[in-house]
Amino acid sequence: MRKIIHVDMDAFYASVEELDNPGLGGKAVIVGGSLEGRGVVSSASYEARRYGVRSAMPVSRARRLCPHGIFVEARIERYAEVSEQLLRIFKEYTPLVEPVSLDEAYLDVTGLEETLGDAGHIGRQIKKRIKDELGLIASVGIGPNKFLAKLASGLKKPDGFVVIKEEEREEFLTDLPVSKIIGVGRVTEKALYKMRIYTIGELRQRPLDELVENFGKWGNALYYLSRGIDESPVVAEWDPRSVSRSFTFERDVKDLLAIRRELYRLTEDVTGHLKDTGVKARTITVKIRYSNFKTITRSITIVPPTDLTEMVWRHVDTLLKEKVTLKDKAVRLVGVTLSNLAPAVTEEFEQLCLFKGLNTSLDEKLQRAADRITKKYGSGSLKKGLLLP
């Protein structure tokens, strides 16, 4: 039987801001990519959430809901730095660590009882170390699979610690609302309500063929998840053949600008990783997961390979606009993957670049200059027009 831990940092971006500026402690802190106009909230402290402020909400609406809130510009590089410190703690216990985003990860601790103690002991140790060493609060969930572990981590936020045992899984799920199933957004929830299904226990009573008839492949997943069954493995972090980042909206969104902004931030993240590791990418992939859990990917392969944020972004934006259907569809998750990697400098591609003329050279010079500025003065020193009001 597997033992999976899910660690989910509480109000991560806002908590890091409070860590770096203790004067923010206990206040309604709202972190956003752009603090004016059509900017979007990236994170909100629990004090701000009491006023209805949520991630992916327009900053303008957050200001109306919480006019006394303290609005702080997002510092992705700083959050990534703290995230790396978290990963180092996790990897002291197991190499099977799957980061989902900067603020959450799965750990497979199966079979470590004799050396490190049971999963509950390991989970409490990790939770304590995060607080003692980083000054941050995490919610920890433990279960026999990823679904139950993630469900457990979200049940008693903030500062939660919940264990779901194998023999308790069906009983534990029975009275929970169907919205607690990972992937059940407003669209699926509404469809289930029409079928008079309100709890996971009620969902469990429906036959597989009925769910598949109504929800397709997602119906198959609902059938097994309602029984607490999830066979998906914990996938270790690093695949040397690709670099991926994804973002799950707290609420399904239809706003194209909000979707583009998150994709741009992910593009900045993955291209930054390429520069740090000295590689460039030939293939660019955009992933979109709709509210009904249908997932599509669209890719393009380019020559020469690149690690330039703006070059990758042009292709990401084009793929989104020309290859992805968004009309009247709510989006749950977006992702960017760079693959087909090559060393940053090779003679083959230097020769190819000669045929691209002055414009490519100028593009690269401008991007490198921008990189030097942001490295010296911080990520907020230059702004993409997309992120401005």
The tens digit of pLDDT for each residue in 86-95 reads 999 999 999 8
Grade residue 33 by pLDDT with cuts at 50, 70 and 90. low
The C-alpha torsion from 82 through 32 and 252 to 308, rounded to 10°, is: -70
Answer whether residue 107 shows pLDDT above 90: yes
Active site residue 47: no
The fold for domain 13-75 equals MutS, DNA mismatch repair protein, domain I (3.40.1170)
* pLDDT for position 102: 86
Phi and psi, residue 352, nearest 5°: -60, -35
According to the model, what pLDDT value does residue 371 have? Answer: 66
Instruction: Specify the CATH number for 173-225; select among 3.40.50.11890, 1.10.150.20, 2.60.120.200, 3.40.50.300.
Output: 1.10.150.20
Domain ranges of the chain: 4-10+77-168, 13-75, 173-225, 242-378
The pTM score is 0.65
Between 60-74, 194-208, 374-388, the lowest mean confidence (pLDDT) is in: 374-388
* pLDDT score for 273: 83
Which residue is catalytic, options 18, 47, 98, 104? Answer: 104
Residue 357 has pLDDT above 80, yes or no: no
Domain 4-10+77-168 has CATH 3.30.70.270: yes
Ramachandran region of residue 174, left (φ > 0), alpha (ψ -120 to 50) or beta?
A: alpha
Q: Report the topology of domain 242-378.
A: Dna Ligase; domain 1 (3.30.1490)
Average confidence (pLDDT) over 136-155: 96
| Alpha-carbon span 252 to 262, nearest angstrom | 13
* Model confidence band, residue 334 (pLDDT cutoffs 50, 70, 90): very high
Can you tell me the distance from the alpha carbon of 217 to that of 254, in angstroms, rounded to the nearest whole number? 23
Report the 3 state secondary structure along 237-306.
Answer: CCCCCEEEEEEEEEEEECCHHHHHHHHHHHHHHHHHHHHHHCEEEEEEEEEEEECCCCEEEEEEEEEEEE
Q: What is the pLDDT of residue 121?
A: 97
What single-letter DSSP state applies at residue 131? Answer: I
> Quick check: do 4-10+77-168 and 242-378 share a fold?
no
What is the token pair recorded at 292? 């009904």
Q: pLDDT of 279-332, one tens digit each? A: 888 899 999 998 887 889 999 988 778 889 999 999 999 999 988 888 778 899
Q: Is the pLDDT of residue 84 over 70?
A: yes
